[in-house]
Amino acid sequence: MFAGRGRPLKIQKSMKQSIFTILENKRLAPSVFRMELVGDTSQITAPGQFVNIRLEGRFLRRPISVCDKAEDRLVLIYKVVGHGTQQLSEMAPGTQLDLLTGLGNGYDLSKCGEKPLLIGGGAGVPPMYWLCRELIALGKEVTVILGFNTAEEVFYEAEFAALGARTIVMTADGSYGRKGFVTDGMTALEKECGFAGKDAQQSDCAGSSADTFYSYIYTCGPMPMFRAINQVARTSGQFSFEERMGCGFGACMGCSCKTITGYKRICKDGPVLEREEILW
C-alpha cells in the first residue's frame, strides 16, 4: 500500500538480512577460528564479499569476509581481535546469528589471465580460499602465497593445496615454511620458476607481464603488505581492504577512502580495489 502510486521501484537488490545457524565453530590457530553456518546464502555472489554480524550487547555489527560458500553453507574464518570477535569465538553450534549478506563488491575473476597469484596475509588468508576454488574450477593455474608471523599462526595450507593450488607458506620468523614476507616468496618464486614468458604473452589478460610466473595478483591483508606487494608487482591486481565500518552497506560514509577515480566506500564500492585506482 506504500508502493508509491503505481510507479515501479527501480532498485537493484544485492544485500539481505537473514538468520543463520552455527553448525561448527572451532579453533584453527591460537586466535583464529573457523565457523560454519547454514542459512540463505543467495545474495553472496562473489569471493571477497563479506557478511556483517549482529552480536548481542554490541552496538555495531562485525564485518567478516566470506571464506567459502556452497548452497546453504557459509564458512567464515575470523581472528579474535576484540570483545566482539571474542564473543563470536565462544558461540556454540546451534546458536542463531543475524547476518547481513551480499556486502561488498568481491573479486572480479574475469581479468586474471591463466596464472593468477593469490596472496593472503594473516587474517587476509580466508577470502583467498573461495577465490582459489573458483579460479581452479575455471581451469586456472593458481599459485597461493600465505603469509604469517610465526608457525603457530599458520592455517589452511593443506586446504589450499588440496584444491590443487601451488601453495607457499611464508613466516616472518622462519619457524615454518619459508622465512620472510610474502614479497620474499614472490621474489624467490620468480627465481625458481623462471619467467612465464611466452605463456603470459599468449594470455588475453590486460596488464599481464611477460617477465614473471604469474599473470595477475589477488590479495587481502594489511596495508604494509599491500605496499610491499605494490613495490614488486609486475602485473595488475586486486587488493581487498579493511577499514572500521559503521553500517557495512554504504549508508554512513564511515569507511570512505580516496582513490584515483574519486572517493569510494570500502564497504560498498570495495572492499576490493584495483591496483591502478589505489592512491599508493
Partner 1 sequence: MVSEVSRAAGRDAATHQSDTGFHADTTVTLSGWELDNPVIPASGTFGFGKEFAELYDINCLGTFSFKGTTLHPRFGNPTPRIAECTAGMINSVGLQNPGVDEVLAVQLPKLQSYFHKKVIANVSGFSVEEYAETVRRLDECDQIGLFEVNVSCPNVHGGGISFGTSPEAAAEVTAAVRKVTRRPVYIKLTPNVTDIASIAKACEDAGADGISLINTLLGMRIDLKTKRPVIANKMGGFSGPAVFPVALRMVYQVYEAVKIPIMGMGGVSSAEDVIEMMLAGAAAVQIGAANLTDPYICRDIVAALPKTMEQYGITSLREIIGAAHRN
Question: Residue numbers of the site for partner 1 (CB under 8 A)?
Answer: 1-5, 7, 9-17, 54, 58-61, 84, 100, 243-247, 249-258, 263, 268
Output 106 or 177, the one with its CB closest to partner 1. Answer: 106
Q: Nearest CA to 124 among 213, 187, 40, 64?
A: 64
Output 53 or 117, the one with its CB closest to partner 1. Answer: 53
- What is the smallest separation between the CB atom of 246 and partner 1, expressed in angstroms? 5
CA distances from 30 to 153, 154, 157 (A): 7, 10, 16
CA dist 62 and 280 (Å) reads 27
Q: Nearest CA to 119 among 196, 182, 194?
A: 182
Output 15 or 165, the one with its CB closest to partner 1. Answer: 15
- What is the smallest separation between the CB atom of 259 and partner 1, expressed in angstroms? 11
User: For residue 271, is the peptide bond before it cis, meaning its omega torsion is within 30 degrees of 0?
Assistant: yes
Q: Which residues contact 69 (CB under 8 A, 6 or more apart)?
A: 41, 44, 75, 130
Output 38 or 251, the one with its CB closest to partner 1. Answer: 251
Output 101 or 208, the one with its CB closest to partner 1. Answer: 101
- What is the smallest separation between the CB atom of 256 and partner 1, expressed in angstroms? 6
Contact 182, 124 (CB under 8 A): no
- What is the smallest separation between the CB atom of 9 and partner 1, expressed in angstroms? 5
- What is the smallest separation between the CB atom of 126 and partner 1, expressed in angstroms? 22
